[in-house]
Amino acid sequence: MNQIRGLVLEYGIAFRKGKGSIEENLPKAISTNENELTSMSKALFTELLAELRQTKEKLAEYDQKILAIHKAHPVCQRLVTIPGVGPLTATAIIAMVGDPGAFENGRHLSAYLGLVPRQHSTGGKDRLLGISKRGDPYIRMLLIHGARTVLRWVDQKEDSKSQWLKKLIERRGMNKATVALANKNARVIWALMARNEKYREPEKAA
């Protein structure tokens, strides 16, 4: 979609953002002679449009397969009860971790995913740097995106976890709060997998 949007812009045609915009407007641009598109460029955009539609169909097919795996796997069903963890993240975690006993605790899983701060010692002092970004970058990205979605609605909630997150945003900023929540979720994921536990909703703040 980004490729098509950028190419048509070279011909003076701008499509609004949105998933359905290209499929709605590109056929109109191809079928009219009231723009700068040449016969060759129209043929190219026709091929790109067909490729886009095929890709979307394939993505929908894979989404259905992921949902089927999720529904058939009891551990996946427990993991998606964690705010910020959906079927895609849950199935990816199951595929990557396999045996949670390979990690001593939740912090080790979080560290493996690169969600804990790097440390640097100099002059006898330890400094915390940015996250290490080790391990599986895809799962780290999913956890970060999931955490960002949770934080989008945190102002509307008053439970103890949301209060902690709001204070963290005030002190450290949105990006660090996002990583902190992703880190926490990785630890919770390990607990639910290793101890066969269920996710417990945070208590209401006093």
User: Over the stretch 2-52, which tens digit does the pLDDT of each residue have?
Assistant: 899 999 999 999 998 887 899 999 999 999 999 999 999 999 999 999 999
pLDDT value at residue 134 = 64
pLDDT value at residue 119 = 40
Does residue 127 register a pLDDT over 70? no
Query: Which ranges constitute the DSSP H helices of 73-157?
Result: 74-79, 87-97, 106-112, 137-152
Domain residues of the chain, as ranges? 2-66, 73-194
Neighbours of 140 (CB within 10 A): 21
Does residue 200 register a pLDDT over 90? no
Contact 147, 179 (CB under 8 A): yes
Largest CA distance in the chain: 72
Neighbours of 42 (CB within 10 A): 16
Does residue 129 register a pLDDT over 80? no
For residue 112, the cross-strand partners are none
Contact 89, 78 (CB under 8 A): no
Give the distance from CA 58 to its chain's centroid. 19
Please name which of 109, 103, 118, 115 lies closest in space to residue 146, comparing C-alpha atoms.
Answer: 115
Does residue 120 register a pLDDT over 90? no
pLDDT value at residue 36 = 92
User: Over the stretch 46-95, which tens digit does the pLDDT of each residue have?
Assistant: 999 999 999 999 999 999 999 999 999 999 999 999 999 999 999 999 99
User: Over the stretch 130-168, which tens digit does the pLDDT of each residue have?
Assistant: 455 566 789 999 999 999 999 999 998 888 899 999 999
Please name which of 32, 4, 31 lies closest in space to residue 18, comparing C-alpha atoms.
Answer: 4
Tokens of 159: 């439970």
Tell me the mean pLDDT in the region 93-108. Answer: 89
Tell me the mean pLDDT in the region 121-132. Answer: 43
